[in-house]
Amino acid sequence: KRTSELIPLCHLLQLTKCTVDFELLAGNGSYAVQAQCLVKTTGKTGVEMEALTGVQIALLTIYDMCKAVDKAMVITDVHLLSKAGGKSGDFVWKQA
């Protein structure tokens, strides 16, 4: 709900839903955390920036809590998966 305070020219939106879900992925002796943020509004605008900000803040929080164990953590591949509505219409991520 504070995206407009963090990103210039981003306006305040009335959100109806905001969730962040995590999945712990293990492989080759290492671990990764996958975060996904779902944001909804009844307004006629997109909430992509709120979702992307939610994921980044969630992952930065995990980094902060785990940095004593491993400062070499990397936050990567943050992108929009899908959106519906808004001026630009619908979008679905198509992995290359």
> Which residues does the annotation mark as catalytic?
64
List b or e across 1-20, with b for residues whose CB sees 16 or more CB atoms inside 10 angstroms: eebeeeeeeeeebeeeeeeb
Q: How many CB atoms lie within 10 A of CB 48?
A: 16
Burial of 67 (0-12, 13-18, 19+ CB in 10 A): exposed
